[in-house]
Amino acid sequence: MIVEIGHFALILAMFAALAQSCAGLIGGQRADYRFYTFTKRATDITFVGAAIALIALIHAYLTSDFSVKNVVENSHSLKPLIYKIAGSWGNHEGSMLLWALVGAGFATFLSHSKEELAWTLKSRALGVQGLIVALVIAYVVFASNPFVRLPNPPFQGNDLNPLLQDPALAAHPPFLYLGYVGMSLVYSLAIAGLLDGKVDAVWARIIRPWALASWMFLTIGILLGAYWAYYELGWGGWWFWDPVENASFMPWLLGTALLHSAIVTEKRGALAAWTVLLAILAFSLSLLGTFLVRSGVLTSVHAFALDPKRGVWILLILALFTGGGLLLYGLRASVMNSDKGMFAPVSRETALVLNNLFLVVATLTILVGTLYPLLGEAIYGRAISVGAPYFNAVFTPLMSIILVFLPLASFFSWKRSKITTHAKKLIPALIIAIIGGLVVAFIAKNKPMSAVGVTLGVWLILGALSEFLQKAGLGKSNDVVKRAFALRPMYWGMFIAHLGVGVFVIGAVVETSFQKEQTFAIGIGETVQFEGRKITLDKIASLEGPNFYSDAAQISVNDGKKTIILNPARRYYPAAKMPTTEVDRKANLFGELYMALGEPNSESGASKWVLRVYFNPFIGWIFGGYFLIALGGFLSMADRGLRVAAPKASGDIAKAAS
């Protein structure tokens, strides 16, 4: 019964979203407040309907209702509670339902936000968002319905893919969708701005918090995914440049570009047209991501729940919103008057434009690399694959160029700036960075790139610190620390995020250059040597979990001073008929010892176990840096000054910016 209520609520939500769409667009067009009031009500109904639908689905999972096909395919009565809940969105149908709910949720947030000044803009934005949500719900209802019942319900379910039964991955899809779908609201606001004929500083001020929020969620989503891949897949890596990973990374990069260009539009009234274009493209890439992940047109190691037929629907939605958005963009080019805000060649505006050009080109190279295998067959006459070597060779140099200039550019003031005055303040940072690089070059003589990378990382960290302290009045005031804490959250956000980039760069460079890895075949009681450590397999214990069996190894590691114990294991999930590798890790100040247990090898008489051991130096810096980037986004978003819709007087803007 509850399942039917959910199904019904979802259909209701689809019609409510259509009504929201029509009323919102008409209300904005005719400047009729009654339509606006109506679209706000409809937005609430859409959200409540979609929420009831998801709750009904979760309820079916919690009660293990095996008359529902989706529950049978993805759940098991013995599955732990958290994975019953997460299982509802861990599959294709449920995840698209979550997509619709998040889209409706963002619309509801916008509808209830207190920016009444631009109500026609808001009305149109709710209209566009309503159309997006209505189409996604229609897709769920007609092409991928999670509420389908089975005529002959089985007694037990097939279980959720065991690899997905993991805390980080339970949270990964919701965060990723908050990011992807948040981009849809930025898109809606951009289209609304085009329709409204007002794409200016006020508009930029309205979209920026939404862009920041979705970018931050996307950052966290990617972080959780990378972290999961690192400890769950047992490969000792965290990023593989797989199409599915790129699908989330491309909107993130464009989102990064968007955040920076929106600052220029907000503070200086310039680059409005560019900001709108980025908003349209960022959402298009989010949809493309959904398509690539769900359709299986590209070979991915993360191949979940594929269905090429249903992919076509997503492709149609993608074509409609990208094509429609770009068409409108061309037709309404005249309303995006970028004649304001003249600036000199050396200025913050110039720096941000360059940042944007590089980020967009970097995104394009990833897009080409990701889609190239589709063309490859035509060009080479055979299937090809584009892997990490391509992306490393292209993406790394392009990003390095932006990052080298980042610390200097962050000092620039609006309109006109001087390189020499600012360069002086960065001399200490530069000297320390070079010393750091030389130290690394001395330690690792055969790895010059690692020294270059570390120099860049230190330069970024100290550059961010120098700029921040400067803002707090270093050299002018005695209580710099006190003044630093009094600075607006926005400045903290910028500082922390740029600091995070430096931390990430150091982590990524050191980890890739100095990772150690070795595979052993080891019997019980035997000892092997790894990087100055003695590794002994003490025993293998057979255990039983709620829905799995496990062979857990006890391995003692002696580095000459003390002994630590690691317990990598292999699990077998009988319902899904699938084994998983459960790695174990121990971190110290410099890195992490990482062990994955392979299959036993009993053919040679005495039973030997395959054990793969890694030492991943500075791995924590990679995830830590990424976390700092997300935290920076959060702090910027928390800045109340951003939320005020009324534009400040230009004098104030100049003061705030300097």
Binding site for other proteins (CB under 8 A): 161, 163-164, 233-235, 296-299, 301-306, 339, 353-354, 357-358, 361-362, 364-365, 368-369, 372, 376, 380, 382-387, 389-390, 393-394, 397-398, 519-521, 576-581, 596-599, 601, 603-604, 608, 610-612
- The tokens of 602 are what? 């009993």
Least gap, CB of 370 to other proteins (angstroms) = 12
Cβ closest to other proteins, residue 344 vs residue 541: 344
Cβ closest to other proteins, residue 119 vs residue 304: 304
- The tokens of 373 are what? 């295998």
Between the alpha carbon of residue 494 and those of residues 467, 570, 588, 637, the distances in Å are 10, 43, 29, 11
Cβ closest to other proteins, residue 539 vs residue 577: 577
Least gap, CB of 609 to other proteins (angstroms) = 9
Cβ closest to other proteins, residue 273 vs residue 440: 273
> Which H or E run includes 594?
strand 591-601
Cβ closest to other proteins, residue 324 vs residue 376: 376
Least gap, CB of 246 to other proteins (angstroms) = 14
Least gap, CB of 413 to other proteins (angstroms) = 19
Closest by alpha carbon to 520, among 609, 458, 433? Answer: 609
Least gap, CB of 394 to other proteins (angstroms) = 5
Q: What is the DSSP letter of 543?
A: E
Cβ closest to other proteins, residue 177 vs residue 614: 614
Sign of CA dihedral 190, 191, 192, 196: positive
Least gap, CB of 384 to other proteins (angstroms) = 5
Buried b (16+ CB within 10 A) or exposed e, 80-92: eeebbebbbbbbb
Least gap, CB of 633 to other proteins (angstroms) = 26
- Three-class SS string for 615-635? EEECHHHHHHHHHHHHHHHHH
d(CA 519, CA 535): 12
Phi-psi region of 622 (alpha: psi -120 to 50; beta: other; left: phi over 0): alpha
Strands (E), 20-77: none
d(CA 296, CA 306): 6
* Cα Dmax for the chain: 83
Least gap, CB of 645 to other proteins (angstroms) = 30
Cβ closest to other proteins, residue 376 vs residue 617: 376
Least gap, CB of 53 to other proteins (angstroms) = 26
Contact criterion met (CB below 8 Å) for 403 and 501: yes
d(CA 619, CA 512): 9
Cβ closest to other proteins, residue 352 vs residue 631: 352
Cβ closest to other proteins, residue 368 vs residue 438: 368
Contact criterion met (CB below 8 Å) for 348 and 419: no
